[in-house]
Amino acid sequence: MDAFEDHCWEDVVDQEVLDIYKAYRRETYIGRKPALLVIDLYNLAFQGGAKLPIELQDTFPSSCGKYAWEAVEPTRRLLARCRELDIPVVYSTADTRMRKKSSISATNRKGAAPTEDAFEIFEAYHPEPQDLIIYKSRASAFYGTTLAAQLTMMGIDSLIVVGESTSGCVRASAVDGYSYGFHVSLVEECCFDRSPLSHKISLFDLHHKYADVMHIEEALDHLAVKET
């Protein structure tokens, strides 16, 4: 397996499909002036602890369970490194003001009534005063928000995307980021989903069409080069 395809989808994408997608192979990179885009790492995704989502669905249907908790350590490493390098950090979360006034939501999935702090950023990733927080009502962090304008004003040319869910809000935000002209990178170990299959296939699609999927160590290596 070559480095470009050495990712989590190895066990679900066969060689014929890999051959069909050869035209997408290229050098991957992080742009000259990146921002870290942290998608929906709020309390709701971590409810119930590190259990399988199927074990939590009746009590915490919005939780990503063990997959959320497995991403904590690599995401904290990446976040800390970005802060060391003064890379801007942008968080997205649900706009609860809209939820109170209408039926608008990010997906059609039914969920339990959220707790008061459900959409606050999870304590492991607590925002700092200089960070930007985007409040959204749909899947993409760009849709109906000022995110593209804010990034442009900061001179950002690329995005490092992490968060959840890979097949939902991460995917929508990555595609929109690409459509707005930003180079997009996703860190595999820092993205997660309730469904491992959806996670793998979504990363495969994004990697070949709209974004550079990287392992955490690869992303940190790219950032180390920027420091020198």
pTM score: 0.93
Closest CA relative to residue 107, chosen from 88, 92, 94: 94
Q: Cα separation of 133 and 147, whole Å?
A: 9
Amino acid identity of residue 192, one-letter, is F
Q: Measuring CA to CA, how many Å separate 69 from each of 64, 134, 192?
A: 8, 23, 9
pLDDT band at 226 (very low <50, low <70, confident <90, very high): confident
Active site residue 8: no
- Residues 91-142: tens digit of each pLDDT: 999 998 755 555 555 566 555 556 779 999 999 999 999 999 999 999 999 9
Other Cβ atoms less than 10 A from the Cβ of 135: the count is 16
| Domains defined for the chain, CATH in brackets | 3-22+29-227 (3.40.50.850)
Whose structure tokens read 């990179």?
Answer: 29
Q: Three-state DSSP class for 50? A: coil
What does pLDDT average to over the chain? 94
Instruction: Give the tokens for residue 24.
Output: 């997408």
pLDDT given for residue 2 in this prediction: 87
pLDDT given for residue 152 in this prediction: 98
pLDDT at 48 over 90: yes
- Which stretch of 17-21, 77-81, 100-104, 123-127 has the lowest confidence by average pLDDT? 100-104
Instruction: Give the tokens for residue 57.
Output: 């669905």
pLDDT given for residue 156 in this prediction: 99
The 132-136 sheet, strands edge to edge: 132-136, 89-94, 34-39, 158-164, 183-192, 212-214
pLDDT band at 187 (very low <50, low <70, confident <90, very high): very high
pLDDT given for residue 116 in this prediction: 78
pLDDT at 29 over 90: yes
pLDDT given for residue 105 in this prediction: 56
H or E stretch at 183: strand 183-192
Please state, for a pLDDT cut of 90, what percent of the chain lies above it: 88
pLDDT given for residue 101 in this prediction: 52
pLDDT given for residue 228 in this prediction: 65
Catalytic site residue from 8, 64, 169, 191 = 169
